Structure 1
Amino acid sequence: MTVTNKDNLLGWTAAIAVAGIWGVTGVVSKPLSMAVDPMTLVFFRYVTAVIGLSVIFMITSRFTSLSKDLGSSLKIDKGDIAKIALCGIIGQGVFSLFNFLSLSHIGATENGVIQGMQPFATVFFGMMFMNFKMSKIQWGAFIASAVCIYAMSVGPTNQVENGSSVMGYVYVTCSMLSLAWTAHLRASLAEKYGSVVSMLYQYISVAVMGIIVVVAMDLDLSQINIILANPLLLGLLIFLGMGISGGSYLIQLYSFKKIGVEKATMALNLMPLVGYIVAVLTLGEQLHLSKTIIVSLIVVALYVFTKFEAKPEINKSLKPQEA
């Protein structure tokens, strides 16, 4: 298929837009996590996500060109129910819970950088369980990024009042690992059922588990009034549940069609940089030359890591998964 200059422009615009949407997850979550307790916020997020993705499925399932990749049927094999529940509860629920908890201790900048390490963690889990290997260049990129992460952790940190930067880094690392641990399984489910159908069932599993947790822990769902009373918080919740966890898939699929999966995936390496810039501009987080250099180096390391994969056939599994 011949790719025109217009296709290239539209494709890269869509790919960068996805990087922007996913890159601001920490920024969007920050005000919400400060207003509502993390456990309850997870429940609110995935109820919103189920509603949003259900609407998207009803629309896309009517179009053959879209349903082929996103899913055309809600039927799933009984043998995959446990897999979907695992991906939903661990890869989405636990991921979000620890992510929200981390934002009670550190800034969206630090949060976004650690979350951007998912490609590295995904490959490590692949090496442990699926015989994946890293090339020498990838090892170099990983070591460079690890040094950068250490430099950031001991350097100036946007620490929350009464928070602990150490706990913040622990929480966000657990969050990132929860998502990365299920990456390969989620990729196989998306390939089998379509990305929207697969993710919809994962969100439903989190929502169902959320109901159980709400009853067991007697969580205060009246906190939703805090969000409903604040137009900004309400908008952020809708964007978090329906935009980041829903509509971004359609934009990403469009970029795949225009410029291909590999090029579109490369754009996702901009996520840590996007999160950093937006956090500085919107949340007033501190801009440090050293941190700017560190974040830029990590983006370069991520690009090199993705560019020089040892096994091209695992590209699909190594894409950073939506938050």
Structure 2
Amino acid sequence: MQNRQGNALLGWIAAISVAVIWGVTGVVSKPLSMAVDPLTLVFFRYVTAVIGLSIIFYFTKKSASLSEDLGSSLRIEKKDYLKIALCGIIGQGAFSLFNFLSLSHIGATENGVIQGMQPFATVFFGMMFMNFRMNKVQWGAFIVSALCIYAMSVGPTNNIEGGNPLLGYAYVTGSMLSLAWTAHLRASLANKYGSVVSMLYQYISVAALGIVVVVAMDLDLSQINIILSSPLLIALLVFLGTGISGGSYLIQLYSFKQIGVEKATMALNLMPLVGYVVAVMTLGEELVFSKTVIVSIIVVALYVFTKYENKEPQVELKTQKA
């Protein structure tokens, strides 16, 4: 009994760790996006991600229990090439590019809050293309969150020199939608080939396109020297490319096994709050009472949205059986 409780505790720690890792994406990206131009940074990120995920695959494929979920073979069916390229170029490349561009106009706090709206956007795309439905409680949570986002957009915003807040919000919204639009397709590929294998090929597709862009636009790859000259920037790039884009999946898988997918997924609702707190502590972004309230309400709304998913249809089903 104590062992199960201990495993559950470790599972929750792992789930919250994933929320922290993904929640600080904006904070980690901010210094890098200020040092290197966005297109070049996208290329650097996914080259790093390919290297990191290749190393992770090398070790995980030797474990039967891990390879079952993460993937044990690099063989991909030809019919899935286009799907992988689509997920990579839009779900990863466009997501990162727009995210980096937004950080030139808004703070990591605002960036993290919009990125935290992934569950809503994912369900909306599911409603449009996969016949998903939101119940009344979920609609209420969505409306509350939408009002909070509006309040944040017109309220106090971290000032970025030369930045345009409206353009920043447009960029980060495009980033969030790029990831959300490919969510169901990415999930199907992960189920078929394993999460690490499917993500590795997506990263390879972005890196390959990046090479074309580098040549076509004559991007200045010597900017890597800016990163290499700073131990902090090196650590941030490695963490962005390998930690956020690779290692976090292993931690999340462990949490799934210990506390279940639903509970582990709920922990991700902490992402906007994590991003806000870390941005204030590390980047010196402004701590505003109204913004703190807004972020807290969004976290609660995200929790309610996830908690009551599909609850209403289940009640109706029981009534019909009775």
- Structure 2 runs not aligned, ≥5 long: 314-322
1:293 partnered with 2:265? no
d(CA) in 2 for partners of 1:149, 1:63: 44
Checking the alignment, whether the CA contact within 8 Å between 1:71 and 1:197 is kept in structure 2 is: yes
Checking the alignment, whether the CA contact within 8 Å between 1:3 and 1:258 is kept in structure 2 is: no
Query: Any residues of structure 2 matched to 1:155-194 within 5 Å, and which?
Result: 155-194=155-194
- Which residue number in structure 2 is paired with residue 63 of structure 1? 63
Give the Å deviation of 1:248: 0.5
d(CA) in 1 for partners of 2:128, 2:192: 24
Moved over 4 A (4+): none
The one-letter code sitting in structure 2 at the alignment partner of 1:164 is: N
The one-letter code sitting in structure 2 at the alignment partner of 1:258 is: Q
Deviations 1:217-252 (A, max 9, x none): 000000000000011001100000010001001100
- Which residue number in structure 2 is paired with residue 141 of structure 1? 141
- Which residue number in structure 1 is paired with residue 35 of structure 2? 35
Give the Å deviation of 1:8: 1.3
Q: 1:311 to 1:199 in 2, by over 3 A?
A: farther
1:111 partnered with 2:111? yes
- Which residue number in structure 2 is paired with residue 310 of structure 1? 310
TM-score when normalising by structure 1: 0.95
The one-letter code sitting in structure 1 at the alignment partner of 2:8 is: N
- Which residue number in structure 2 is paired with residue 273 of structure 1? 273
- Which residue number in structure 2 is paired with residue 46 of structure 1? 46
Query: Any residues of structure 2 matched to 1:256-271 within 5 Å, and which?
Result: 256-271=256-271
Deviations 1:25-64 (A, max 9, x none): 0000000000000000000000000000000000000000
The one-letter code sitting in structure 2 at the alignment partner of 1:232 is: L
Query: Any residues of structure 2 matched to 1:236-255 within 5 Å, and which?
Result: 236-255=236-255
d(CA) in 2 for partners of 1:160, 1:195: 37
d(CA) in 2 for partners of 1:159, 1:19: 26
1:16 partnered with 2:19? no
Query: Any residues of structure 2 matched to 1:58-137 within 5 Å, and which?
Result: 58-137=58-137
1:233 partnered with 2:233? yes
Q: 1:311 to 1:198 in 2, by over 3 A?
A: farther
Q: 1:7 to 1:157 in 2, by over 3 A?
A: same
Give the Å deviation of 1:5: 1.1
d(CA) in 1 for partners of 2:312, 2:247: 28
1:207 partnered with 2:207? yes
d(CA) in 2 for partners of 1:33, 1:312: 43
Q: 1:76 to 1:3 in 2, by over 3 A?
A: farther
- Which residue number in structure 2 is paired with residue 320 of structure 1? none
d(CA) in 2 for partners of 1:3, 1:81: 44
Instruction: Choose 1 or 2 for highest CA Rg.
Output: 2
Aligned length: 313
- Which residue number in structure 1 is paired with residue 317 of structure 2? none
Checking the alignment, whether the CA contact within 8 Å between 1:106 and 1:168 is kept in structure 2 is: yes
Give the Å deviation of 1:7: 1.1
- Which residue number in structure 1 is paired with residue 320 of structure 2? none
Give the Å deviation of 1:4: 1.5
Give the Å deviation of 1:159: 2.4
The one-letter code sitting in structure 1 at the alignment partner of 2:271 is: M
Deviations 1:92-111 (A, max 9, x none): 00000000000000000000
TM-score when normalising by structure 2: 0.96
The one-letter code sitting in structure 1 at the alignment partner of 2:75 is: K
Give the root-mean-square deviation of aligned CA atoms. 1.4
